[in-house]
Structure 1
Amino acid sequence: MFMHSDETNPFLALFIISLCLVGALGTWFSGTVIMPELAGRVQLGETQQVWLTNAVQSGFVVGALLIAFFNLSDSMTLTKLIAFSCGFAAAANLLLLFADTPIGIITLRFITGVALSGVYPPVVKLVATWFQTGRGIAMGIIIGALTIGSAMPHLFRAMVTDENWIHVIWISSAFTFLIGLVFLFVISEGPFPFDRTEFKPRQILQVLSNKSFYFLNVGYIGHMWELYAMWAWILTFARIPEANLNLFSFLTPEYFSFFVVSIGAIGCVIVGRLSDVFGRCYTTAILMFTSGSCAFLIGFSIEVAPAVFVFVAFIWGLTIISDSGQFSAAATELAESHLVGTALTVQMALGFGITILAIWLVPLSAHWFGSFQWAFLLLFPGPFIGALAMLLLRRRPDAVKLALGKR
């Protein structure tokens, strides 16, 4: 290890881990951004195209549940778990180049999701080992890295021609594999490690039966109902004729989608600091009310002017992810030390589980409304319910554990 907990500045460690997460998560939407090419290659139907993205979400949920059930993130060395999972994700992603049937491609995307469940939740816990104070901004920065990593396939796709779409797979796989080596040989846990514990299935029940975790997880589910459905379908939304992005010569749908998703990284850092000052509950509630309003307004903004549409989309991208890290920070603060890994994994399994339904329903919503312009109307109730749950959490006695008493 070149990074030692007693010698390395925590923010330097955070910077290195964040860069690594950006590279590791390029495989998440790598299949989604080349969906037209894959659909033409193996004759993917409309339903199968939806499951090209949903397979990753489903795999993530299954993997997260397995990790929680076997308590891997609380019993294994985090860096080894992350490194193995990166290699697993890179291999599954690369095999897309050789899959020649719809079921083969969807299965590989599912396996990629399983692998990524061993990257993202453990990385969140790893970052928490480097911080006792300032954990909110640390989580904001790491979720900012998640945001940019999720946006990278859009950038890769914008930079290559239709004929060279396979480069998206090669690049994302190579990054993920190399990052796995960095986690294995360079990165270590911080000076504030959580207690390790043996596998005990009842630990999952301990987390689920906690009333404060109930409100926290409802808040997270409301947040996730909106987040990944928007990320998954924003490129399709940007390509509809009503969006009129062709009026901006510099803004193709692919670049537009990259900027809308990645701009959230800025918000993550700002909100991370704000939540340490003003508390997790108020901060997340305000952000969810804002992003939910954008989900409601985005279709109407197209009716006004392309510039208004772009403005609303960028505000949505800025706010939709900005509060995400605070749910993770709250989980690490509310959970007992030996249950932190399980609490994070259960929370993410629940949140990513709801994304499967939301991603599946968005194109159906477009069909019901008669146009993709109105498809995102389906999403706005989620963050509103989530905001209410976080305000109720703030009234709980043990909410005093959040943000060093700021709630």
Structure 2
Amino acid sequence: MSAPAVTAEAVPRRILPVIVLAQFAGTSLWFAVNAVMPDLQQAWGLPATAVGTLTSAVQLGFVAGTLVFALLLVADRFAPARVFLVCSLLGALANAAILLADGSVGVLLALRFVVGFLLAGIYPVGMKIAALWYRGRLGAVLGVLIGALVLGTALPHGLRALAASGAIGQLPWQAVVLAVSALAALGGIATWLLVPPRDPVAGAARITPRALVLIWSDRKLRASVFGYFGHMWELYAFIVLVPLIVASRLAGSAAVSAAAFWAIAAGFAGCIGGGLAARRFGSARVAQLQLATSCACCLVSPLMLSAPLPLFFGWLLLWGATVAGDSPQFSTLTAQNAPHQVVGSVLTFSNCIGFAISVVSIQLFVAAAQAWPLAAVLPWLAAGPLLGLWMMRPLLRA
């Protein structure tokens, strides 16, 4: 039996830390396999392109899950904390089941798809829980939540770095996978136990295809959504390629994993810093600056790959901070520019299209990185940000 709904305006101090930590824990499932991919390739003889294929399976699962959860109004028919708990527990089990795959690519793909599907009940539902509690300052909270997602994405690399370095003992890759699963399960349990139900703002609106027409026909909405699409072309391909980029300069699994962790985790600082800057300069200008900076990082990559190590790592940290830091601002812009009655539909469809774009870019860039030097491949990541910056012009003029 769930706890009684809390209707008082005062928000208990524990609520935001619990939601943020649970989001961090749950989303660590996203790239759990990527962090141990070198171990899986050695143990099971997986091809070099497996990292792209398995990541794309997660992305496609997330697209499917987002649509199913939205169309069935799952987080509105059931308590969001209960949905978060169930998806966290099932996602943890699906992630841990990797240990039983025994090198079968088909089984791995199915499990990663299931994890992606269940992440649709973790990441968006976590934001819905936050929206119910922090209606008046959701913009700032959104930056922290997406920052937690970025940290969760980086976490498996950090765990592998600790295991490989011996800092937590000589742990096998299986222990890293199980640790991520345990953390995700704990995040779901903490949300269920420590975040009581909150009264919804109003009845949920059904997803309507009219939002797809508005995304293209409404000038300002089109500008924010297509800016987001350009961002998605770059973001997840960068996350997948980070270990390859680092390995071009460092040797040893501990060093590579540690550097990959910091490069991805830098996005947390980008999300928080962008949220603070948006309060003064507005989301459109902050998103433009961060998108332009990550675009520049793509374009100068041929020079940075052979630069002195301090400059190389500075470039990688700046890229990691800005490639993810504009995510909260694009979500804010899309929500602000969409008509109130179809905000949910617009966000659902734009997220699904954005993640579908990431599947294409992941597949293209992983395959290209196997065929050509990184210096010839990475600058093409700038194609998405350049298109996004061009499409954002109406927002900046406004």
2:121 is aligned with 1:121: no
Q: Once superposed, what is the RMSD of the aligned Cα atoms?
A: 2.6
2-structure distance, mates of 1:8, 1:172: 33
2-structure distance, mates of 1:97, 1:354: 30
What are the within-5 Å matches in structure 2 for residues 285-296 of structure 1? 285-296=288-299
Greater Cα offset, 35-44 or 18-27: 35-44
Equivalence for 1:108: 111
2-structure distance, mates of 1:158, 1:250: 7
Greater Cα offset, 385-394 or 4-13: 4-13
Q: How far is the alpha carbon of 1:209 from its aligned partner?
A: 5.7
1:55-90 alpha-carbon deviations (Å, 9 max, x no partner) = 111111111122233333455432222222212211
Q: How far is the alpha carbon of 1:215 from its aligned partner?
A: 2.2
2-structure distance, mates of 1:356, 1:366: 15
What are the within-5 Å matches in structure 2 for residues 5-404 of structure 1? 6=8, 8-9=10-11, 12-100=14-102, 101-161=104-164, 164-188=172-196, 193-197=200-204, 199=206, 201-202=208-209, 204-205=211-212, 208=215, 211=218, 212-240=220-248, 243=249, 245=250, 252-336=255-339, 339-367=342-370, 370-395=372-397
2-structure distance, mates of 1:188, 1:136: 22
Contact 2:287 2:326 (8 Å CA) reproduced: yes
Contact 1:365 1:374 (8 Å CA) reproduced: no
1-structure distance, mates of 2:173, 2:309: 29
Contact 1:122 1:341 (8 Å CA) reproduced: no
1-structure distance, mates of 2:78, 2:345: 12
Equivalence for 2:167: none
Q: 1:320 to 1:84 in 2, by over 3 A?
A: same
Q: 1:32 to 1:140 in 2, by over 3 A?
A: same
Contact 2:205 2:344 (8 Å CA) reproduced: no
Q: 1:48 to 1:156 in 2, by over 3 A?
A: same
1-structure distance, mates of 2:280, 2:139: 9
Contact 2:18 2:190 (8 Å CA) reproduced: no
1:241-299 alpha-carbon deviations (Å, 9 max, x no partner) = xx2x35xx998111111111112211211111211221111110111001110122123
Q: 1:13 to 1:2 in 2, by over 3 A?
A: farther
Q: 1:291 to 1:227 in 2, by over 3 A?
A: same
Equivalence for 1:401: none
2-structure distance, mates of 1:156, 1:129: 33
State how many pairs are aligned: 389
Unaligned stretches of 5+ residues in structure 2: 165-169
Q: 1:250 to 1:70 in 2, by over 3 A?
A: closer
Contact 1:26 1:150 (8 Å CA) reproduced: yes
Q: How far is the alpha carbon of 1:196 from its aligned partner?
A: 2.4
Greater Cα offset, 45-54 or 207-216: 207-216
One-letter amino acid matched to 1:214? R
Contact 1:234 1:257 (8 Å CA) reproduced: yes
Q: 1:91 to 1:12 in 2, by over 3 A?
A: same
Q: 1:307 to 1:87 in 2, by over 3 A?
A: same
2-structure distance, mates of 1:151, 1:170: 16
Contact 2:161 2:253 (8 Å CA) reproduced: no
Q: 1:283 to 1:5 in 2, by over 3 A?
A: farther
Contact 1:67 1:118 (8 Å CA) reproduced: yes
Q: 1:364 to 1:98 in 2, by over 3 A?
A: closer
2-structure distance, mates of 1:232, 1:72: 31
Contact 1:140 1:268 (8 Å CA) reproduced: yes
2-structure distance, mates of 1:77, 1:46: 42
Secondary structure in 2 matching 1:252: helix
2-structure distance, mates of 1:229, 1:5: 43
Unaligned stretches of 5+ residues in structure 1: 397-407
Secondary structure in 2 matching 1:6: coil
Greater Cα offset, 162-171 or 70-79: 70-79
1:167-187 alpha-carbon deviations (Å, 9 max, x no partner) = 111111111112112222322
